[in-house]
Amino acid sequence: MSVMMSPGRLLGSFATTAGKPAGSLAANVASRRTVGYIGAMFTAFDAARADACDGLTLALIPDPALASALGKAATTFAGAHRLVGRQARTDQLALPLFDLGRYAGLPYGIVRQAQEAARRLVLPAPFELIIDRVEAVRGPGGAWMARLTGPETPALIALYADLAASLRRSGLGRRIAIAWSAGAPFLETNIAFPTTPISPIVWRIDALSLLHDTPPRRQVSLGRWTFG
C-alpha cells in the first residue's frame, strides 16, 4: 500500500511509487540473480543515469544502539527465511522521507535548498515508531525488497507533510514522489514473502538528517536537525 502525497501507515520503502507488500511466499521468484542493496535511495528521476553516483536523501537515522537492534532483527529474519542477498550494514539503516535524486557529483545548489527546507521546518517533539513486522515490496529496480515496518504513526504523517511543504517553498517540489511510503529497507532479494511479525522494537525519532550517499556503500551526513 502506498499513500498519495501523505502517508497513511509506516510501510518501509524508498520515497518512490514502488512498493506493494507481497502476498505469497516465494511464489513470485523472477530470477535467482540477486542484486545487493547498496544503501542508495534510487528514484525514477535519475536511476537511468549511469554516471549518477551521488545521492541525496532526507531521512530519519537510528542511534547506534537502535541500529544494532534493527540489524540483528533483519539478520535473524533473513536467516530464518533463507533470504539471499547482500544485507545493509547497521550504519546504513535509515527511514528515508525524501529522495532528492542521484547526480554525477554533489549538487551543492540542491544541498543548500534541502538544508534551507529543513531549517525552516518547525520540528516536532520526539516521537516513537514501533517496528513489529517485515514486509516484501517491489523495489525501484523491480527486485523484491525486505523492509522493517510497523503501524501507522500520526506524528510521522505530519512530519512528512510539513517537510513536503517546506521543500516546495525551497524549489524542490518536483523531487516529491506522487506516492510515498517510509521505513527501513534492509535487503534486496529475489523472492516475495508474506508480511511476518517480529518482536517489537521501539524507535525513538528525535532528529532529521540530510544524507549524501556515495559508492561504495557510504553515507555522509550533510546536516542534522534535532527535534523538540
User: Mind listing the pLDDT tens digit for each residue in 85-102?
Assistant: 878 888 889 998 998 988
Give the global pTM.
0.74
Residue 40 is placed in which grid cell? 542508495
Rounded Cα distance, 35 and 188, in Å? 6
Q: pLDDT class for 140, splitting at 50, 70, 90?
A: low
Largest Cα–Cα distance of the chain, in whole Å? 47
Distance CA 181, CA 204 (A): 19
User: Cα(57)–Cα(219) distance, rounded to whole angstroms?
Assistant: 10
pLDDT of residue 20: 41
Q: Cell numbers 550494514 label which residue?
A: 89
Query: pLDDT for 65-87, tens place per residue?
Result: 999 999 999 999 999 988 888 78
Identify the band that residue 151 occupies on the pLDDT scale cut at 50, 70 and 90: confident
| Cell numbers given for 153 | 504513526
Residue 94's φ and ψ, nearest 5 degrees, are -160, 160
Over residues 30-59, the mean pLDDT reads 46
Reported as a single tens digit per residue, the pLDDT across 179-190 is: 566 567 788 877
Strand ordering across the sheet containing 95-103: 95-103, 54-60, 207-214, 218-226
Across 132-148, average pLDDT: 84
Look at residue 141 and give its three-state secondary structure.
coil
| Residue 192 confidence (pLDDT) | 86
pLDDT for residue 138: 80
